[in-house]
Amino acid sequence: MERTFIKDIAPKVGEKVRLSGWVYVVRDHGKITFLDLVDGSGMVQCIGENLEKVTPQTVIEIEGLVKKRPEKLINPKLALGDLEIEISSLKILSKASEMPFDIGKEDLDLELPTLLDYRALTMRHPKQKAILKIQTEVVDSFREALKAKDFVEFQAPSIIPEVPEGGAQVFEVKYFDHKTYLAQSPQLYKQIMVGVFERVFSVNKIFRAEPSVTTRHLTEVVSLDAEFGFIDSWLDVAEMAEYTIKYIFESVKKNCAEEIKLLGASLPVVSDKIPVVKLREAQEIIFKRTGVDHRTEKDLAPEDEREICKWAMEEKGSELVFVSHFPTKSRPFYTYPDPDEPEFNQGFDLIGKGVEWLTGGRRIENYETLVAHAKEWKVDTKKIDIYLQAFKYGMPPEGGFAFGAERITQGIIGLKNIREATAFPRDMERVDTRL
């Protein structure tokens, strides 16, 4: 008999099927055994008499009859809660060892280190799977959003010859006899590609040698990057970022409804138009609201990020807010200084639920200005030769934005720790196992 995927049993009521999968939960009632069987497509309850003993996570193959469950035994929480399988034969394919914790609980309730020490196993819990499905949807819908706007995907390199964003938080790679680095961002490459395809995006690993352990930093991040030419102003870039983020929210809402429900998550509230404030305006608002005077600081402190989000929600009905115009010197050399106030630049952050979700801005497209900035910022111009070429030989006004898939997954679901937002988180203390 051909195997049937669990998701496909509904039209087969009254028929015999062959199913394969993992035992999720076993309930023994003397002669009768109830077990929840999980495969890649779904979960269904199976019932059998005098079955061979099976334990959770054991891989089995069964044959049985698809039946409607009596009305009062329907489980409304499960997609196939109105069906069950009456097992006629059961074969064990791979016996699981005794579980180190109860994976059948509604919540795993494990401390983070345990959650990660048993990562191969904890990811099999429905809520952990739901998180990963949402992450996949975030990445997928990012691509879809930008392809709909004629952006072309390209592959950015990970090994790079120079650190354009400056020094300390970079990993070195011994490259034969040379020193190279792991990319902190595909920034220079996506700008080069604007000269090729005009509108480009990439989904690419970036690496930050973050020397501290926080709830929102990883050393390895899936960066979602976009860049495009022929903008009229930096506001075009913010608008494209807003379109993209909203597209992602809508896709997650639509395609991960079950996962969102299971996790009890609620997507961020956004207004028709996400509010935009300059850094100095934001600091002024915060000063007026709280008395905390950060009006000359070059960036928002974490508590400022939380406060400006509170303001945005209360005054503008949006959990997200753009903050723009950071001091020119505090941002990378390629950021475009505002012609009206050159000590501030046309870069922006998108702050959501109190943390930075996305960063973007207009870039300098003029070759001479760019070279002068690079030198002033102490970047080795010889090593970014092909980047500078792109500007020497014709580059339109352009800009772009970037955000981490993990950070946005964390934000959408409201996870306390970013390590839960990805399959294999890396930090200072852990690369799969503890260091």
Which residues from 250-269 bind a second copy, rule CB under 8 A?
A: none
Q: How far is the CB of 332 from a second copy (least distance, A)?
A: 18
Our finding on whether 144 is near a second copy (CB under 8 A) is no
For a second copy, the closer of residues 158 and 271 by Cβ is 158
Tokens of 214: 């926080």
The one segment of 199-207, 244-252, 287-295, 310-318 that binds a second copy by CB under 8 A: 199-207
Closest CA to 349 of 322, 310, 312: 322
The one segment of 33-41, 79-87, 324-332, 339-347 that binds a second copy by CB under 8 A: 33-41
Single out the residue of 46, 47, 156, 248 in contact with a second copy (rule: CB under 8 A): 156
51-70 residues near a second copy, rule: CB under 8 A: 57-59
Tokens of 334: 């390629």
Q: How far is CA 294 from the centre of its chain?
A: 31
Single out the residue of 16, 34, 39, 338 in contact with a second copy (rule: CB under 8 A): 39
For a second copy, the closer of residues 209 and 265 by Cβ is 209
Most distant CA pair in the chain, distance: 82
Q: If 0-12 CB within 10 Å is exposed, 13-18 middle and 19+ buried, where does residue 145 land?
A: buried
For a second copy, the closer of residues 180 and 185 by Cβ is 180
For a second copy, the closer of residues 195 and 354 by Cβ is 195
339: Cα within 13 Å, side-chain hemisphere? 5
277-336 residues near a second copy, rule: CB under 8 A: none
Our finding on whether 212 is near a second copy (CB under 8 A) is no
Q: How far is the CB of 210 from a second copy (least distance, A)?
A: 10
State the Cα torsion 275-280-285-286 to the nearest 10°: 110
The one segment of 320-328, 338-346, 356-364, 422-430 that binds a second copy by CB under 8 A: 422-430
Instruction: Please state the length of the chain.
Output: 435
Single out the residue of 16, 34, 41, 271 in contact with a second copy (rule: CB under 8 A): 41
Single out the residue of 69, 129, 310, 353 in contact with a second copy (rule: CB under 8 A): 129
Single out the residue of 29, 31, 77, 382 in contact with a second copy (rule: CB under 8 A): 382
Give the count of beta carbons closer than 10 Å to the beta carbon of residue 375. Answer: 12
165-194 residues near a second copy, rule: CB under 8 A: 171-176, 178, 180, 182, 189, 192-193
Our finding on whether 25 is near a second copy (CB under 8 A) is no
Closest CA to 67 of 84, 54, 81: 84
Separation between Cα atoms, residue 41 and residue 21, nearest integer Å: 10
Separation between Cα atoms, residue 166 and residue 3, nearest integer Å: 55
The one segment of 124-132, 290-298, 306-314, 352-360 that binds a second copy by CB under 8 A: 124-132
Tokens of 161: 């010859």
Single out the residue of 219, 324, 335, 346 in contact with a second copy (rule: CB under 8 A): 219
Our finding on whether 105 is near a second copy (CB under 8 A) is no
Integer angstrom CA distances of residue 159 from 173, 177, 402: 8, 14, 19
Our finding on whether 229 is near a second copy (CB under 8 A) is yes
Residues whose CB falls within 8 Å of the CB of residue 251, separated by 6 or more in sequence, listed in order: 137, 140, 141, 144, 145
8 Å CB contact between 137 and 256: yes
For a second copy, the closer of residues 236 and 299 by Cβ is 236
Closest CA to 336 of 242, 400, 241: 400
For a second copy, the closer of residues 247 and 367 by Cβ is 367
Single out the residue of 65, 78, 110, 203 in contact with a second copy (rule: CB under 8 A): 203
Residues whose CB falls within 8 Å of the CB of residue 382, separated by 6 or more in sequence, listed in order: none
Q: Nearest 5 degrees, angle CA 391-CA 397-CA 400?
A: 95
